[in-house]
Amino acid sequence: MENSQIKFKLKDVLSRELELRGMSLSKLAGLCNINKGTLHNWYNGSAPDARTIHHLVGLSEFLKISLVELLFDKKENKKNYHPVIDTTVLGEGGQYQISIKKLN
């Protein structure tokens, strides 16, 4: 995935996970302490931005899925797991550079 151009799948993952849990966006927002408007925007296809990206960690932890799966709908194979991601993604309004690095 390094330096590749891929598209966010956050909208699809949120839709699937809400359906699996029988949960509304409002309830998920409350449980994850995320603004309802932020989740609504993501659910409707907007990409996370600098003001909202920090909420992705809590959301992935609550849903018990990795950030890679949450953002790109790609399950990580533990044998091929690489903790460093440096990628350009297409989102609403343009391209975004995302880097995720394991610190310890």
Task: State percent of the chain over pLDDT 90.
Answer: 38
Mean pLDDT of 23-40: 95
Two tokens, residue 57: 């960690």
pTM of the model: 0.69
Q: Which fold has domain 8-75?
A: 434 Repressor (Amino-terminal Domain) (1.10.260)
Q: Answer yes or no: is pLDDT of 79 > 60.
A: no
Reported as a pLDDT band with limits 50, 70 and 90, residue 53 is confident
Q: Answer yes or no: is pLDDT of 1 > 50.
A: no
Q: Where are the domains of the chain?
A: 8-75
Q: Answer yes or no: is pLDDT of 83 > 60.
A: no
Residues whose CB is less than 8 angstroms from the CB of residue 78 and which lie 6 or more positions away in sequence, other chains included: none
| pLDDT at residue 2, as a whole number | 44
How distant, in Å, are the alpha carbons of 15, 44, 81 from that of 12? Answer: 5, 9, 23
